[in-house]
């Protein structure tokens, strides 16, 4: 397989204006200087002038390879097996076990509870999400330990999973929160998060949402010219000075699915280098705003921590130049995006410690408070979607396992062609074959997995989609009037607790009452 190279195409902040006669002039290749070899200088251009961006390539990290789904997958006793990605970074010798695991008796467990027994205990005979509270705590503690010795805080990305019970538990553990809407802000406050440890992200924040943030004292990321204007308006309405961070687009390609890549130059997110000086001048002139930090976010499902280091080096260069202009920066927010082992083949992926260690010395040297925004890596492996087999059928040269779960409950495979491991919850003696696992929704795109090798399951057999804690229930819909499922967790004592009610048809009809 051909390897790729992760590249930083943006420079350190030279912020030097082109001549007025030729504002779009490009630098010659002889003027391109790696940022480690120079001290960038800033000048104050007019709003209409552009700035030079000298490319530099800091990273030679190779991208983790992957194979097509189903390629080289051996027969399995209960579950489908994906090919393991090739790891190219130093890592621990073994991968840690997660809450959902099979034991020697052939059954799948959530912590110490057989999933098949949980299925009997759950009264709703429909798909449901099952979580391990113990795994959630373990994931948070891993980030907490990784940040030891640093001035820092964790901002959990509510967009990944907005279950109120999960939010309350993370808040009690000490987490802050990252928000992308006014409703997420209100939910965070209801869950008890300290608003001064909350960050409001987003490229299209509304004035009314920003007023809520200003009144609460939430940190706000500036994403664009109009966003700056809206935040200023919100500060005036609230009568508060809004503490802001600049979300800088570092032009880093993290080599992930384009739908979850957010730090490249053509992304809808962030402020490009050539515009940054204008934003600095504007903030200086606006008493409603106080610049307290800078932020970047590269994307999601990232499995190479070198890209975080490259981005952090660039961000520190920006911080130094901004400080030289008289601003007091306190925060460096490097976002989130750490991937998880969706393949469930024991691949060694970077840990929170691996991630934080790439930026630890930089943050200490610059005396900055580090903000990290985990979402997927906080909740992804805490959960599985539990389904029942409705039946098995064949058409042409395709075999199908039809289950009661669907793209309505879990859209990631249909939306991103994402792989999530699928497994039967009990031993099965049926012949092993290759199946597409599909739901009952009236769409050909309604699948949970393709070309999975599974024992032919009987009707009613339990089947789980693993690692469903992030961007699954949060993206669920009521398409085909399939109401969103209930959620349960196994607590630290091994007890099953409902943490979200199932939606019903009455909930749907309630929206039309009185009309």
Q: What token pair was written down for 284?
A: 């200086």
Q: What is the DSSP string of 283-309?
A: HHT-TTEEEEEEE---BSSB--THHHH
Question: Radius of gyration (Cα) for the chain, nearest Å?
Answer: 24
Q: What token pair was written down for 380?
A: 């992804």
How buried is residue 74: exposed, middle or buried, by Cβ count under 10 Å (0-12/13-18/19+)? exposed
Helix/strand/coil for 27: coil
CB 222 within 8 A of CB 247: yes
Round to whole Å and give the CA distance between 96 and 141.
Answer: 14
Q: Write the CB contacts of 428 (distance below 8 Å, at least 6 apart in sequence).
A: 77, 78, 454, 455, 456, 457, 458, 461
Strand runs labelled E in 171-283: 176-179, 198-200, 219-222, 242-247
Measure the CA dihedral 453/423/389/450, to 10°: -40
CB 248 within 8 A of CB 274: no
State yes or no: is 442 an active-site residue.
yes
Q: Write the CB contacts of 276 (distance below 8 Å, at least 6 apart in sequence).
A: 13, 15, 51, 246, 248, 318
- Tokens 């552009």 sit at which residue? 50
CB 272 within 8 A of CB 320: no
- Tokens 């809808």 sit at which residue? 268
The residue from 110, 296, 442, 472 that is catalytic is 442
Round to whole Å and give the CA distance between 313 and 333.
Answer: 13
**DSSP 8-state assignment for residue 260:** G
422-424/462-465 β-pairing: antiparallel
Q: What token pair was written down for 413?
A: 């495979």
Catalytic residues, by residue number, are 442
């Amino acid at each position: 397989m051909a390897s790729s190279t992760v590249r930083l195409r943006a420079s350190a902040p030279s912020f030097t204006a082109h001549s007025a006669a030729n504002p779009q002039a490009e630098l010659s290749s002889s003027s391109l200087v790696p940022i480690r070899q120079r001290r960038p200088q800033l000048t104050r251009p007019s709003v209409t002038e552009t700035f030079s961006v000298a490319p530099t390539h800091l990273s030679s990290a190779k991208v983790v390879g992957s194979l097509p789904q189903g390629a080289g997958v051996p027969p399995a006793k209960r579950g489908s097996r994906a090919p393991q990605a090739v790891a190219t970074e130093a890592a621990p010798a073994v991968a840690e076990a997660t809450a959902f695991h099979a034991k020697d008796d052939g059954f799948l467990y959530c912590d110490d509870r057989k999933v098949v027994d949980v299925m009997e205990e759950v009264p709703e005979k429909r798909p449901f999400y099952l979580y391990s509270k113990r795994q959630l705590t373990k994931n948070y503690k891993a980030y907490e330990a990784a940040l030891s010795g640093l001035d820092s805080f964790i901002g959990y990305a509510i967009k990944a999973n907005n279950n109120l019970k999960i939010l309350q538990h993370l808040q009690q553990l000490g987490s802050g929160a990252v928000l992308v809407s006014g409703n997420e802000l209100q939910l965070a406050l209801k869950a008890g998060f300290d608003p001064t440890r909350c960050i409001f992200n987003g490229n299209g924040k509304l004035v009314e949402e920003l007023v809520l943030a200003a009144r609460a004292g939430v940190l706000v990321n500036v994403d664009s010219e109009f966003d700056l204007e809206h935040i200023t308006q919100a500060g005036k309405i609230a009568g508060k000075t809004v503490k802001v961070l600049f979300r800088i687009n570092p032009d880093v390609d993290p080599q992930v699915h384009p739908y979850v890549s957010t730090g490249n130059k053509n992304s809808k997110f962030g402020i490009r280098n050539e515009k940054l000086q204008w934003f600095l001048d504007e903030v200086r002139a606006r008493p409603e705003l106080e610049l307290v930090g800078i932020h970047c976010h590269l994307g999601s499902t990232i499995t190479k921590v070198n890209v975080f280091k490259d981005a952090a080096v660039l961000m520190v260069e920006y911080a130094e130049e901004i400080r030289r202009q008289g601003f007091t920066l306190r925060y460096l927010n490097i976002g989130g995006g750490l991937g998880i082992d969706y393949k469930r083949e024991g691949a060694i992926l970077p840990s929170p410690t691996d991630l934080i260690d790439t930026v630890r010395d930089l943050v200490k040297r610059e005396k900055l408070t580090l903000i990290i925004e985990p979402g997927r890596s906080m909740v992804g492996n805490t959960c599985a979607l539990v389904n029942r087999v409705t039946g098995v059928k064949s058409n042409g040269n395709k075999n199908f396992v039809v289950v009661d779960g669907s793209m309505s409950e879990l859209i990631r495979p249909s939306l991103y062609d994402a792989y999530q491991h699928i497994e039967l919850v009990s031993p099965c003696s049926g012949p092993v074959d290759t199946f597409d696992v599909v739901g009952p929704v009236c769409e050909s795109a309604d699948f949970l997995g393709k070309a999975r090798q599974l024992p032919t399951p009987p009707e009613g057999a339990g089947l789980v989609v693993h690692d469903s804690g992030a961007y699954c229930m949060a993206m669920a819909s009521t398409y085909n009037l399939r109401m969103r499922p209930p959620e349960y967790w196994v607590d630290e004592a091994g007890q099953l607790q409902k943490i979200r009610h199932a939606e019903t048809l009455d909930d749907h009809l309630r929206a039309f009452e009185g009309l």
